Structure 1
Amino acid sequence: MTDLLYSEEEEALRAAVRDLLTDHCDPAGVIARTESDAPHDPELWKALSDGMGLAGLLVPESLGGQGATHREVAVVLEELGRAVAPAPYLTSAVVATEALLACEGDEAAELLSALASGRTIGTLAVALSTGPGAHFRSVRHEEGALYGELTGIADAVAANVLLVPAADGGLYAVEADAHAVTVTPQVSLDPTRPVATLTFDGARARRLGTAEPAVRRALRAGAGLLASEQLGLADWCLTETVRYLKERKQFNRPVGGFQALKHRLAQVWLEVVNARAAARNAADALATGSADTDLAVAVAQAYAASVAVHAAEEAVQLHGGLGMTWEHPVHLYLKRAKADSIAYGTAGGHREALAELVDLQAP
């Protein structure tokens, strides 16, 4: 039977990442950065990738990575979710890396080594809202160059290399700063994970492999491990709300002592506990290559998305007037939760996939 409990090594990794984020990702700093023209934090990314080697967790040791599993990556994402960290970890160290792992050849291997070092940031040029089994848009490939436009690409503004699916069935690598590539930021609900439109007008491209299996693998891993980020987010919202209600007094007694609020927090706690089980199961299935991986991912995303949104909404409301201010970080958690709820497929889309997987389609 699979053991979904955290190992000693995973708990040690959690402690190390949390300490790093305490030093490099304080709430005031995150808020200030989201209100600037540079939402990503390069110093934080350097600490995560160069200082701790976290960008290469999924990359084999032979290519300069750590050779770890999705379970360790899930722990990192839980902590990044707790901090709403403005770093392209999910998009580069997970999704782009998984796409490259599905490709063969020296070109893909070189890019994997570059991503593992953290000095290169990659992003898969597929809309953030695309689920593992959904149709994804592609661009035109002619004589070694790409033409077309793709929208809703997460963390494209921070990327050095773009992994672009083309209509000829290939997956191509394009330098983000190439003269024939235009990256146009879009208005994003979540300022810590901005999206952009990519325009290719004859951009020179290097073929990496076949797009379909690479994109499907990447999106499945992204959806499964996104549940761990949502878990960390929900856990922070619950912990901080409980702490605040113990300090906030009304009628000369802590607000947290009121029974109605206890019931609401107890409900959130139950949801967080269940979300942890679903997220851990998805991470373990990805790590072990289980035959039920698609099922585990669908269950995790069908459940965790709504838990994160509910926990964030309760945190905003139960913080009272303070929760409605821009100075308090809780609004960032609500925005991240809302944006995550449609990332890599909606909960409804994952429920449909789940019904098909267990042969329980609606009449």
Structure 2
Amino acid sequence: MSSEAISADDLVALRDSVADLVARGGGSEAVRASMSSTTRTDAPLWSGLVEVGAAALAIPEEDGGVGAGWGALAAVVEELGASLSPVPLFSSAVLATGALLVAAERGGHGPAGLLADLAAGERTATLCLAGETSWETPGVTADGGILSGTAHYVTDAEAATDLVVVAGPTPHATLHVIAADAPGVEVVPVATMDPTRPLSQVRFTDAAAEAIAAPDDLLARLRDVAWAMLAVEQVGAASAALRLTVDYTKARKQFGRVIGSFQALKHRMADMYADIETGRSVAYAAVEAIGTGEGAELAAAAHVYCSEAFTRVVAEAVQLHGGIGITWEHDIQLYFKRAHSSAQFFGQPVDVVAAVSL
């Protein structure tokens, strides 16, 4: 599960390819249209991402992937974070694939060909983990491979063909794979504050699943992957929020001058930039540490810092946009909602700080 090296030129080309796909796919208009689609995802953009190999980046070559490592996938995650594109990359290529790769390190193998199918985009998976009140306690239990209970805050479940389920009780959680349309499985979409990241409850009623051997530290390892990659996504979104703010302040006039020329506003945007660049350094350090045995502290630091920095940046962005910043018509409100929702993903930063302080 190492983060293999990829050249700087290849990373630039990969970012450019993703940015071009997003732009050609309609950008913000496509994001808004996807919010009300059947699966609440941008299916055409997802197909394009699969064609350029995005879903296969972190999967080893022997399993049908590209084997480029987490660093390459992070570059794609950052670009999609910047556009808020509702595609199942984070749910499938990061969370579900991450769980399968953690298990594979300890000899646990999922259904034959699953990783290869995920890499090729022939199947799409998502992770079922959280209980109603905590990411630390799975909402689903397993008894002899039979799943019962409800997983909450499941991303992109409506678009998934397969569910990768972490079942309790903790600390010895078990890993399972089951088809999303299997008997005893019910996907219940839920309304969300952040319409760009669809969430569902997934209910299991005596559902027969395939068990996968997993290490005792499965939850901790998976959390490190989620926090590191989420931090990269937050950096991408915060960067886009700053760009929107700079563009707006260059166009908006008061007292006969563009407001971006006011020194006080320049200072505030400089502080936003400093938050983002510090966050980028922390986030990519955490990504680089995935699988090295030193990733836990960096991942926790990235989750706390990037969640708080993203929240600060969008709060400033909304203020600097003035009244238009709180209207549905302007995209900055979508970034505000993403900042507050992503800060709760895989545990609140305040809980992480409290745990470290004990």
- How far apart are the structure 1 equivalents of 2:249 and 2:98? 42
Determine the structure 1 residue equivalent to 2:40: 39
Q: Is the 8 A contact 2:231 2:283 kept in 1?
A: yes
Q: How does 1:72-221 map to 2 (within 5 A)?
A: 72-103=72-103, 104=107, 107-108=110-111, 110-127=113-130, 135-142=136-143, 144-167=145-168, 169-210=173-214, 212-221=216-225
Offset, 1:88: 1.4
- Please say if residues 166 and 211 of structure 1, whose CA atoms lie closer than 8 Å, have aligned partners that are also in contact: no
Aligned-pair distance for 1:147? 2.0
Structure 2 equivalent of residue 71 of structure 1 = 71
- Indicate if the aligned counterparts of 2:41 and 2:159 stay in contact, CA closer than 8 A: yes
Distance 1:25 1:340, change over 3 A: farther
C-alpha spacing 1:215/1:96, structure 2 compared with 1 (3 Å) = farther
SS in 1 for 2:113: helix
Gaps of 5+ in 2: none
**CA gap 1:106/1:35 in 2 versus in 1, 3 angstroms:** closer
User: d(CA) in 2 for partners of 1:338 and 1:231?
Assistant: 14
- Judging changes above 3 Å, is the alpha-carbon distance between structure 1 residues 298 and 105 closer, same or farther for their aligned structure 2 residues? closer
Distance 1:130 1:14, change over 3 A: farther
Secondary structure at the counterpart of residue 182 of structure 2: coil
CA gap 1:273/1:160 in 2 versus in 1, 3 angstroms: same
Q: Secondary structure at the match of 1:148?
A: strand
In structure 2, what residue type is equivalent to 1:165?
V
3-state SS, counterpart of residue 328 of structure 2 = coil
Secondary structure in structure 1 of the residue aligned to 2:200 = strand
Q: 1:268 to 1:140 in 2, by over 3 A?
A: closer
Structure 1 position 155, deviation (Å): 1.8
Structure 2 distance, partners of 1:72, 1:129, is 33
| Residue 272 in structure 1 maps to residue 273 in structure 2 | no
Question: Could you tell me how far apart the structure 1 residues matched to 2:121 and 2:131 are?
Answer: 21
- Distance (whole Å) between structure 1 residues aligned to residue 37 and residue 267 of structure 2: 39
Aligned mates of 2:317, 2:68 — CA distance in 1: 34
Query: Aligned partners of 2:343 and 2:250: how far apart in 1?
Result: 30
Structure-1 separation of matches of 2:327 and 2:131: 28
Post-superposition shift, 1:337?
0.9
Match of 2:300 among 284, 292, 298: 298
Q: 1:330 aligns with which of 329, 332, 337?
A: 332
Q: Using the alignment, how far apart are the partners of 1:204 and 1:255 within structure 2?
A: 61
The aligned runs of 1:226-237 (5 Å cut-off) are 226-237=230-241
Unpaired runs of 5+ in structure 1? 356-360
Asked whether the 8 Å contact 1:189–1:339 carries over to 2, the reply is yes
Equivalent-residue separation in structure 2 for 1:228 and 1:180 (angstroms) = 36
Runs (4+) of structure 1 exceeding 6 A deviation are 128-131
The aligned residue for residue 16 of structure 1 is 17
Give distance in 2, aligned partners of 1:314 and 1:54.
32
In structure 1, the residue matched to 2:322 is 320
* TM, length-normalised to structure 1: 0.89
Over 3 Å counting, the alpha-carbon distance change for 1:285 and 1:106 in structure 2 is closer
Question: What is the identity, as a one-letter code, of the residue corresponding to 1:119?
Answer: E
The Cα RMSD (Å) is: 2.3
Q: Would the aligned equivalents of 1:100 and 1:108 in 2 still touch at CA under 8 Å?
A: no
Q: Check whether the contact 1:149–1:200 (CA below 8 A) recurs between aligned residues.
A: yes
2:352 matched residue in structure 1: 350
- Compared CA separation, residues 130 and 262, structure 1 to 2 (3 A): farther
Distance 1:239 1:167 in 2: 43
Q: Distance in 1 between matches of 2:255 and 2:225?
A: 49
Fraction of identical pairs, as percent: 37
CA distance in 2, matches of 1:151, 1:135: 12
Match of 1:358 in 2: none
**1:315-362 residue CA offsets vs partner (Å, 9 max, x unmatched):** 222122322221221111111111111112222233245x3xxxxx35
Are the counterparts in 2 of residues 127 and 154 from structure 1 also a CA contact under 8 Å?
A: no
Q: What amino acid is the match of 1:257?
A: S
Q: What is the CA-CA distance between 1:108 and the residue it aligns to?
A: 4.4
Distance 1:330 1:137, change over 3 A: same
